[in-house]
Amino acid sequence: MNQSHQTGRSVAEGVIPVVASSDQNYAMHLTVMFTSLLRNCSDPERVQLFCIDGGIPEQTRERMNEEIVHAGGRGIEFINVDKKRFEHLPTLKHITSSAYYRIAIPELFDESVKKVVYLDCDIIVRGDILELAATDLTGFGVAAVENISGHTYKKLGIPQSEYFNSGVLLLNLDYWRENGISDQVLRFKQENPHRISTNDQCALNGILHESWKHLPLKWNHQTGLYRQSDQTDAFSPEEVKSANLNPKVIHYIGWDKPWRKVRFHPLADEYDRYADQLLGPSPRPKPGVADYIRAYGSVSHLKKWWRCRKNRRWYRSNGFDLYGG
């Protein structure tokens, strides 16, 4: 089992490190995400996968590695970080303290590693990750996509167009090291609790809002993009439609995760597309009649179901290859 404790990791020349963090709860969903990444990568040999381990049992780590090799990857290197450094920080109901571990990423690699791709676990990668990794980061600390919904940016006193979503990040490690970004982010989190509404996304924006490069919307297709109310003036209707019909990364933000028994996201089946390719059983439990009765037992859920059907019809009418029809 490839599990590492020391810092200063290197990767072969031309290889891109891709990092995610997870505990036992999200471990197999991370595996589905990595599987989608490898299946859509033009050269999987140029990708090295890392998981910052928030407490994944050895048996689960072994299965994860088997699945990744089956998908064409090199396996996963599991990394331990000093969890005590993050234990005192607050968490959200659907986000555990493992979400903070990405702040330590620059400390995990030696100075020969210049870029790292970071991905949340609630993601499906449909594009070539090497295309994202080729983004020029000269003068920027990070490349990301604008956060399209919510009002968390207001507490930070920055425009919505300057507030990024932290689920898909391309990190400039030299910039982070030279400017001590990791320590700055943790300090901002501790000193500004009244200005922070998310785990570390607000703190990252508080430090990096003037030094991030805007990525095209398709690299972080966020939940709600297909709802007009969640669109911003930063993107033209053409950009929004292009991202909806050709998302390079689908990010299932919020409570409506694609592994729930009953989902309302019109592209939830994209998760099933890759979960069904695993050697073992899908991490998503099969819903029963009782699950549907509970899910549709309220007017609000019936409205969500109707909107989901309407949005799926729109995708189908525009030629999107919906998994499962």
CATH number, domain 3-219, options 3.40.50.1170, 1.10.390.10, 3.40.50.410, 3.90.550.10? 3.90.550.10
Measured CA distances, 233 to 28, 149, 152, 229, 237 (Å): 36, 12, 17, 11, 9
Q: Could you tell me which residues are beta bridge partners of residue 48?
A: 17
Q: Where are the domains of the chain?
A: 3-219
Ordered per-residue pLDDT tens for the chain, 325 residues:
555 544 589 999 999 999 999 999 999 999 999 999 999 999 999 999 999 998 999 999 999 999 999 999 999 999 998 777 766 665 555 555 666 788 999 999 999 999 999 999 999 999 999 999 999 999 999 999 999 876 666 667 787 778 899 999 999 999 999 999 999 998 888 777 666 666 688 889 989 999 999 999 999 999 888 765 445 667 888 899 999 999 999 999 988 999 999 999 999 999 999 999 999 999 998 888 888 888 777 888 889 999 999 999 999 999 999 998 7
Phi and psi torsions of 289, nearest 5°: -60, -40
Helical segments of 125-200, H only: 129-133, 152-156, 173-179, 181-191
Tell me the whole-structure pTM to 2 decimals: 0.91
DSSP string, 87-142: TTS--BTTB-GGGGGGGGGGGGB-TT--EEEEE-SSEEE-S-HHHHHT---TT-SE
What's the pLDDT score for residue 229? 47
According to the model, what pLDDT value does residue 300 have? 87
- DSSP-derived secondary structure letter, 180: T
Angle between helix axes 181-191 and 201-208 (nearest 10 degrees) is: 120
The total of other beta-carbon atoms located within 10 Å of residue 272's CB is 18
